[in-house]
Structure 1
Amino acid sequence: MLSTSVLPQQSQSRDFPLLRSTPRDSLRITIQDTPKGPVVELTGYLDLATTPMLKAACTEVLRGSTDQRVAADLEHVSFCDCTGMNTLLHIHRLAQKNDGWLRLCGAGATFHKVLRITGLAPMLRCYASAADAFSDRAE
């Protein structure tokens, strides 16, 4: 007899629809609803043309989140300009208004360097994985 009371929670994912203003094949956003919290997986470019889509996706995720915590997986982001950085900061501040946060994971060395140079590293914390981001209890 199988006990259904101890079944592990499964992650569910869905693609965020491409906004009309977003150039085709420039950014793909997949939202993973994991047992620890929502993870927004980004693939492509974060720039002036794609940040409205990122902002829309994260706003939707935060609206549906009870604790206002979200991780953004940047492992497959191949380019991020200042508009992308500003949008990530905007999303973090939006979450902070409700005692939440945006944490980054999977970012490459160049992205880490830009965060340090711009002074954003203390606000936009980077982790090796989404699980690490959700496990860190620091505010």
Structure 2
Amino acid sequence: MDRGMPDEVNRRRLAVDVRRTDSGAVITPAGELDHHSAELLRESLDQCVADGRFRIVIDCSRLEFCDSTGLNVLLTTRGEVEEAGGEVHLAGMRPNVARVFEITGAGAVFTLHKNLDDALAALPAD
């Protein structure tokens, strides 16, 4: 085995589920959000914005890890959505992911919710 190459079989992958609502979307990334996988989430979020979905909830309950690349994807989307008059809410963060937001101060710029139901209830009605 070549130790210089990452073990692709064992490296956790990211899956992104997109559920569209009337004028928004619930995005659920599952797995590890890092420099290897961030583009998958970016594409899903960009498509939501392109479709005019400006009320976005990102359900982080299945997100196991987030590095600075993943954080940048979320921050960039937040800026684009808010510029268009929308909102991005984050829900259900696991402690290790929440810690990244706490350390970087990014938690102060997002609306955070304990769970998905709370986040959905906080969004304005269509």
TM-score by length of 2: 0.78
Paired residues for 1:34-53 under 5 Å: 34=21, 37-53=24-40
Indicate whether 1:26 and 2:9 are aligned: no
List runs of 5+ in structure 2 lacking aligned partners. Answer: 1-7
Question: Could you say which residue in structure 1 is the equivalent of 2:73?
Answer: 87
String of CA shifts for 1:63-114, please: whole Å, max 9, x gaps: 2235x11011111111111111111111111111101122111111222222
Aligned residues: 115
Between the aligned partners of 1:128 and 1:36, the Cα distance in structure 2 is: 22
Q: State the percentage of identical aligned residues.
A: 23
Indicate whether 1:63 and 2:61 are aligned: no
Work out whether residues 14 and 29 of structure 2, in 8 Å CA contact, stay in contact via their aligned partners in 1: yes
Between the aligned partners of 1:135 and 1:126, the Cα distance in structure 2 is: 12
Q: Determine which structure has greater relative contact order: mean sequence separation of CA pairs < 8 Å that are 6+ residues apart, divided by chain length.
A: 2
TM-align CA RMSD: 2.2
Indicate whether 1:104 and 2:93 are aligned: no
Instruction: Name whichever structure is richer in helix by fraction.
Output: 2
String of CA shifts for 1:50-70, please: whole Å, max 9, x gaps: 11111110011122235x110
List runs of 5+ in structure 1 lacking aligned partners. Answer: 1-22
**SS of match in other structure, 2:31:** strand
Letter in 1 for 2:49: L
String of CA shifts for 1:9-40, please: whole Å, max 9, x gaps: xxxxxxxxxxxxxx796111111124583100
Q: 2:112 aligns with which of 126, 130, 139?
A: 126
Residue 137 of structure 1 and its aligned partner are, at CA, apart by 5.7
Letter in 1 for 2:27: V
Between the aligned partners of 2:19 and 2:48, the Cα distance in structure 1 is: 10
Residue 136 of structure 1 and its aligned partner are, at CA, apart by 2.4
